[in-house]
Amino acid sequence: MSEAMNSGAGARLGELIAGLGGLVGRRGACEADRLVAGVSCDSRKIGPGWMFVAIRGFSTDGHRHIESAIDAGAAAVVCEDWPEELHSGVCYLHVTESRKALAELSKIFYGNASEQLMLIAVTGTNGKTTTARLIASMLNASGISTGYIGTGLCRIGDRAIPLERTTPESDGLHALFRQMADAGCRAAVMEVSSHALVLDRVHGLRFRAAVFTNLTPEHLDFHETMEEYAAAKRLLFDRLTSDGFGVVNADDPQAAFMSEQLPKARRYCCSLSGESRLCDSVRLFQAEISGMSVEGSRAEVTFGDQSVVMQVPLPGEYNVMNMLEAFAVGFGLGIDPATALSGLAGADAVPGRMERIWSADRSRCGVVDYAHTPDALQKALETLRAVTPAGSKLAVVFGCGGNRDRQKRPVMGRIAAELADRVILTSDNPRDESPEAILDEVEAGMAGRAHLRIADRAEAIWQAVAGLGRGDILLVAGKGHEEYQEIAGRKHHFSDRETLEACFGRANFEKEGKELP
């Protein structure tokens, strides 16, 4: 059954046209009582009676696929330019902005499901997934049934739906909201990428809370400058409800820019430094770390005249900040602090985010983390350095993705060389680039520091595991939760976690002089 045919989904053409902003004109068979079976911007998903919205993308122009959509049964076409040929029996709608039109049409088609949910959004360069998953866990534990939409995954109750994008296109997004509402969800927590904000995937949505984690260089192949990147992120704070509030990482230099449009009464600040001029004392959440190991952290949190102890099941200052921001969201929503902390402490581990894998005797630890930017790699290595036992070593395996942010490659090479005792360079997702050419650019930042260079990622992880001694920690960075490698335009199954587990098993067998089964 098509995803468009969820309970509560469906609309007549007149209803869709009435709610369509930016309508320039209409032609053809646009009868108001005509039933529309689905809405999509992907011509491959179109079926009989569907509405196709032609969007100009970066790799293709949807206007080129109008004929294919009609051949598949499209009853209506939304476009920014009239096609050269108009087919009888088809309704053509000319709009000023197809992306916004797609969001408006999808919202109506799926029965305004987004308005049946309390929406909470998390944006930033790093920490979005962990923070959003923590908030969802806290809300569910507080009795507020909550769905989650983010990197690679949508979760509705016990259901896990794979996603291709952090923030889906608006037609897919509203389909998920409909499923959440039908499943009894009262809230949805979602990661909102800068691409989604600029490309109007969240057009028309209003959020009860917006969270800003941090801003460091990434996606500059798309935004071109950090100023444009920051401006894209700030768009989220324009989309709050009248009673909505913002939560910001006050220790980040961009926090003031992100929140300056919000009055202090609608702003919560989180800080590990204990200082912030952005919020008054009632709305300032301060955390002082009192203990940290590879197993997790402990922090004393003060807010207003209250103080609580927060147990963070992940190491690293940045994970304390992630949980602190989630806690502040709970406070802003009126959740009892003890209930909020219980829900946060009981959150499931997020795959590929400081995910720890141990050798059989627990003498060596491997950590899988999605750190794929300079800032994320530096924070991950600094965190693990702080918890590496005296006399033991910290190793790292990492690479850089192809067709993305070339300028970050030597920077990441320098960071690894400065912070790790042993460095193994390998492939990430080389995509259409030469893996060896990518490694050349990473290597350029290492200033001649000794390292290994093994393009085969599985072999690189094995060599790293084989070189671990008692108490050593290995960071496998870059791919995190991903279960594929994209090489020469094709995706192949590959999991850092599975590979690391297999390598630890192999190492244990070889250490004991046994043969692998």
Structure-block tokens of residue 462: 């094995």
Q: Are residues 82 and 140 in the same domain?
A: no
User: Distance (Å, rounded) from C-alpha 77 to C-alpha 91?
Assistant: 6
User: Distance (Å, rounded) from C-alpha 461 to C-alpha 475?
Assistant: 10
Do residues 93 and 100 make contact, with C-beta atoms less than 8 angstroms apart? no
Domain count, the chain: 3
Do residues 4 and 45 make contact, with C-beta atoms less than 8 angstroms apart? no
Q: What is the pLDDT of residue 508?
A: 61
Q: Is residue 390 part of a domain?
A: yes
User: Distance (Å, rounded) from C-alpha 266 to C-alpha 241?
Assistant: 11
Helices 435-443, 408-419: axis angle to 10 degrees equals 60
Residue 493's pLDDT band, with cuts at 50, 70 and 90, is very high
CATH number of the structural domain spanning residue 453: 3.90.190.20
Listed residue (323, 325, 319, 429) closest to 380, CA to CA: 319
Structure-block tokens of residue 293: 């190991």
**Counting beta carbons within 10 angstroms of the beta carbon of residue 321, is it exposed (0 to 12), middle (13 to 18) or buried (19 or more)?**
buried
User: Distance (Å, rounded) from C-alpha 463 to C-alpha 495?
Assistant: 16
Q: Are residues 190 and 325 in the same domain?
A: yes
Q: Is residue 517 part of a domain?
A: no
Q: What is the pLDDT of residue 331?
A: 96
Listed residue (138, 118, 351) closest to 245, CA to CA: 118
Paired residues of 397 in beta bridges: 424, 476
- pLDDT per position as a tens digit, 88-122: 999 999 999 999 999 999 999 999 999 999 999 99
- Of 296, 320, 345, the domain-final residue: 345
Q: Are residues 341 and 359 in the same domain?
A: no
Select the highest-mean-pLDDT range: 122-126, 150-154, 243-247, 295-299.
243-247
Paired residues of 162 in beta bridges: 153
Q: Average of pLDDT values for 499-504? A: 94
Residue-averaged pLDDT of the chain: 92
Q: Are residues 324 and 393 in the same domain?
A: no
- Of 86, 109, 132, the domain-final residue: 109
* Alpha helix segments (H runs only) across 110-169: 128-141
Q: In this model, does residue 2 exceed pLDDT 50?
A: no
Q: In this model, does residue 131 exceed pLDDT 70?
A: yes
User: Distance (Å, rounded) from C-alpha 463 to C-alpha 459?
Assistant: 6
Q: Are residues 195 and 325 in the same domain?
A: yes
Structure-block tokens of residue 294: 């590879």
Q: Is residue 516 part of a domain?
A: no
Q: Are residues 326 and 381 in the same domain?
A: no
User: Distance (Å, rounded) from C-alpha 267 to C-alpha 260?
Assistant: 9
- CA neighbours closer than 13 Å in the CB half-sphere of residue 388: 24
Listed residue (140, 142, 173) closest to 157, CA to CA: 140
CATH number of the structural domain spanning residue 103: 3.40.1390.10
Q: Is residue 274 part of a domain?
A: yes
DSSP code of residue 349: P
DSSP code of residue 34: P
Tell me the one-letter amino acid at 75.
A
User: Hey, how many other C-beta atoms are within 10 angstroms of the C-beta on 235?
Assistant: 16
Q: Are residues 128 and 72 in the same domain?
A: no
- Of 311, 345, 379, the domain-final residue: 345
Q: Average of pLDDT values for 430-454? A: 96
Paired residues of 224 in beta bridges: none
Q: In this model, does residue 51 exceed pLDDT 50?
A: yes
Q: In what order do the strands lie in the sheet with 187-191?
A: 159-162, 153-156, 146-150, 187-191, 118-123, 207-212, 240-249, 267-271, 284-293, 296-303, 306-312
Q: Are residues 307 and 204 in the same domain?
A: yes
Q: Are residues 416 and 333 in the same domain?
A: no
Q: Which residues of 267-302 are buried (b: 16+ CB within 10 A; e: fewer)?
A: bbbbbbeeebebbeeebbbbbeeeebebebbebebe
SS3 186: coil
CATH number of the structural domain spanning residue 251: 3.40.1190.10
Q: What is the pLDDT of residue 422?
A: 97
Q: Is residue 468 part of a domain?
A: yes
Listed residue (431, 396, 392, 430) closest to 413, CA to CA: 396
What proportion of the chain, given as a percentage, has pLDDT over 90?
Answer: 80
CA 109 to chain centre: 26
SS3 259: helix
Strands 153-156, 146-150: pairing is: antiparallel
SS3 308: strand
Among 120-124, 283-287, 374-378, 509-513, the minimum mean pLDDT is found in 509-513
Phi, psi of 379 (to 5 degrees): -65, -40
User: Distance (Å, rounded) from C-alpha 57 to C-alpha 49?
Assistant: 24
Q: Are residues 146 and 285 in the same domain?
A: yes
Q: Are residues 52 and 189 in the same domain?
A: no
What proportion of the chain, given as a percentage, has pLDDT over 70?
Answer: 95
Q: What is the pLDDT of residue 151?
A: 87
Q: Average of pLDDT values for 328-353? A: 92
User: Distance (Å, rounded) from C-alpha 165 to C-alpha 462?
Assistant: 30
Q: Is residue 34 part of a domain?
A: yes
Q: Average of pLDDT values for 244-251? A: 96
Q: Are residues 381 and 483 in the same domain?
A: yes
Q: Domain range spanning residue 437?
A: 355-511
| Strands of 68-158, DSSP E | 76-79, 91-95, 118-123, 146-150, 153-156
Residue 9's pLDDT band, with cuts at 50, 70 and 90, is confident
Structure-block tokens of residue 504: 């630890």
Listed residue (38, 53, 44, 49) closest to 73, CA to CA: 49
Q: Is residue 296 part of a domain?
A: yes
Place of tokens 């970050």: 408
Place of tokens 């534990």: 141
Paired residues of 95 in beta bridges: 23
Q: Average of pLDDT values for 343-370? A: 91
Q: In this model, does residue 43 exceed pLDDT 60?
A: yes
